[in-house]
A and B are shown apart, each in its own frame.
Chain A
Amino acid sequence: MTNSIEELSSADAIFIIGSNTSEQHPLIAMRIIEAVKKNNARLLIADPRKIPLTEFAEAYAPLTPGTNLAFINGMLNVIITEELIKEEFVNSRTEGFKEFKQSIIKYTPEAVSEITGVDADTIRTFARIYAKAQKGSIVYAMGITQHVTGTMNVSALANLAMLTGHIGRESTGVNPLRGQNNVQGACDMGALPNVLPGYQPLNDEKILEKFKSSWGEASNFGNGMTASQMMEEAAKGGIKSLYILGENPMVSDPDTQHVEEALSNLEFLVVQDIFMTETARFAHVILPATSYLEKDGTFTNTERRVQRVRKAIEPVGDSKADWEIICMLLKAFDCYAEYESPEEIMDEIRALIPSYAGITYNRIERVGLQWPCPDIMRPGTAFLHKDRFSRGLGRFSINEYRGPGEAVDEEFPLIMTTGRIQHHYHTGTMTRRSWALNREYPHGFIEINPFDAERFGVKSERKVKVTSRRGSLTTTAIITSKVKLGVVFMPFHFGEEAANKLTNRNFDPVSQIPELKVCAVKIEGVS
């Protein structure tokens, strides 16, 4: 997030796209509800499903999955056409406006309405409310990133914020809601193939020197493969071995059949996890790890706040904290790993990542600090880009709409979008074993619109067979007008009826995120 969670309460317009906030980030939804109830903030929601937060929304746009880019470009078009631009901001803090403006001309509300299924006046309403606000905040999540145009979708949102000056100030900004407890931290620590820890580039001599002297001259500082590329290579035989920590690709990755091929093809698979997952069954070695309740360390949340994790109980059985296991392996490879505690590891991190340099365990004893925090005398940073962007001036990008990687046709007439429900988490390894959560949703389901249900002979709470170009599965149908006509929704938490059996392997070319939000399916009742 460019801004902080607390600041959302004081925004006067909030545009949510691709985020089912009340179910996935309830404590952030609380801020949004507060903004609406106590400060009369105007809430705009664009989502193919009528998510719970729409109860508080002033305007709701039920757009077709995969058409986010057209919708955002439509808003940009209206803002430019109706002269709602923040001239001062655009002139002083951005570049590339002219070309960008040219590219937006064709995205008239009428044209966009054809593509998205949202009526033109709603698009205008969204644009006007957001642009005219004093403090407009954009909130988004995987609903817009898990597409073949995911990167462009986010760039378009950046355009939106820059065009209206809603960035670099309190209660504004472009705020992705990171889904997992430490996905922000994992990225910050460089668990990515194309950057060093702290997003430091792989090809800067001075930075490389720093890492070489800490890790050793012979370390590999090349540009590597992403997870999806590794899966592809594993299936082809290029990757012989994978070491998987705390992840369950057999249920969470797209196209389960392909994942199975890839994992079966490996010569050596190591899985480090807390439960025997569907993925762990393919392993050659399983290392039992501890959960977040059994170890010390830090997590970084979606607003960049680094917070303490504390050991509450002793490790179960003979399981060990992940950091202890990795240290054993580091030593087996003759690498330095003499850490008495996670705090010592953090000291090493601080020396290598400038934005973490000021974050010590002492300083975050009571409450976490938001990076960048470059030294121990300074506080953390609530919001970013106050005076300048990381590259200096913000740059308008041109993002031409293109449709999803997979289209519906006569044989597969419905768009299936996948997502999450409140009571479960990812592949359900933890939540399906917590009785109070599992009791709510012990099994998977598929949501279908009443008209579509009638059309395809689907009865409420009965079994249905759902098929895509990659496979099929049986699940239970829930008939609800929450989903748009022509769209069905499946949560992906349930391994035995894994939604990802149906999803495709179309990737965003830049981020390599799979198109989990769109695939074409057909559905039929099962007697």
Chain B
Amino acid sequence: MKKVLTTCGYCGCGCNFYVDIRNNEVIGVTPKQDHPVSRGRLCVKGWQGHSFVNHPDRLRHPLIKHEDGYFKEATWKEAIEFTAKTLKGIISRHGGDSVGVFSSARCTNEENYLMVKLTRAALKTSNIDHCARL
């Protein structure tokens, strides 16, 4: 049994709490008492909003859509290679401006930074935005 301190993934308050883990499963949370924002309190999403993590609907494998319109499981190697190849093809045929990237306000700073780098340095397009406006 362990408790891991982390930042909430819901709203912009950025409360901190400990996730209570048993056997690699999230069983509950414990608030962080001296946190400058939450001060030992949480809202209903902070207390109750983590049981989705092990939901059976979670995407567990890369998926590629086949000709028949159905998704089939693929390996990471296949999925990444296919993605890179297709994007390169589109860029070479239509130019970098034909590609756009939606980064995510739910992902970490590091991930957002890498998305910006991917967009501008790898795909060589400037079309990057995220869901801030929503």
Contacts and interface: CB of A to CB of B under 8 A. Distances in A.
A312 B132 contact: no
A435 B53 CA distance: 12
A6 interface: yes
B8 to A, nearest CB: 6
Q: Which of B10, B98, B107 has the most CB of A within 10 A?
A: B107
A28 interface: yes
Interface string A27-41: 110100000000000
Number of contact residues on B: which range applies?
35 or more
Enumerate the 3 nearest inter-chain pairs by beta-carbon distance, A residue then B residue, closest first: A317-B60, A301-B14, A297-B108
B81 A330 contact: no
A335 B84 CA distance: 12
Contact of A227 (B38, B59, B133): B133
Contact of A329 (B8, B37, B64, B84): B84
A60 to B, nearest CB: 23
A430 B120 CA distance: 30
A296 to B, nearest CB: 8
A27 B38 contact: yes
A180 interface: yes
B127 A239 contact: yes
A223 B48 CA distance: 41
15 contacts: A182-B106, A186-B104, A191-B129, A197-B113, A224-B128, A225-B126, A242-B101, A243-B99, A302-B12, A302-B14, A308-B7, A313-B19, A323-B110, A326-B118, A348-B113
A314 interface: yes
A216 interface: yes
Nearest to B49: A434
Contacts of B39: 27, 30
Interface string B52-72: 111101111111110000010
The B interface, classified by DSSP as helix, strand, loop or mixed, is: mixed
Given A224-B126, A367-B35, A182 B59 contact: no
A189 B113 contact: yes
B131 A252 contact: yes
A183 B105 contact: yes
Interface string B10-47: 11111110010100111000000001111101111101
Interface of B: 4-16, 19, 21, 24-26, 35-39, 41-45, 47-55, 57-65, 71, 76, 79-84, 86-88, 90, 94, 96-134
A328 B111 CA distance: 12
Contacts of B37: 5-6, 27-28, 301, 303, 305
Nearest to B103: A191
A293 B98 contact: no
A466 to B, nearest CB: 20
A222 B71 CA distance: 36
Contacts of B63: 283, 285-286, 288
Nearest to B108: A297
Contact of B36 (A6, A297, A333): A6
B53 to A, nearest CB: 5
Contacts of B121: 215-216, 219-220, 330, 335
Contacts of B130: 183, 186-187, 191-192, 227, 247
Contact of A241 (B8, B80, B99, B133): B99
Contact of A184 (B12, B44, B134): B12
B100 A242 contact: yes
Contacts of B102: 227, 230, 242-245, 247, 249
B36 A367 contact: yes
B132 A186 contact: yes
A346 B98 contact: no
Interface string A175-205: 0011111111111111111000100000000
A342 interface: yes
A326 B14 contact: no
A193 B99 CA distance: 13
A193 B131 contact: no
A146 B134 CA distance: 8
A466 B71 CA distance: 34
Given A333-B122, A434-B49, 14 more contacts: A181-B14, A190-B128, A192-B132, A193-B129, A197-B113, A219-B121, A241-B90, A245-B101, A292-B8, A297-B111, A313-B53, A318-B60, A426-B134, A431-B49
A197 B130 CA distance: 14
Given A177-B12, A288-B60, A300-B109, A239 B99 contact: yes
Contact of B109 (A247, A297, A311, A430): A297
Interface stretch (A47-55, A267-275, A390-398): A267-275
A291 interface: yes
Contacts of A294: 53
A275 B57 contact: yes
Interface in A491-527: 511-514, 516
A345 B6 contact: no
A299 B99 contact: no
A433 B132 contact: no
Nearest to B36: A6
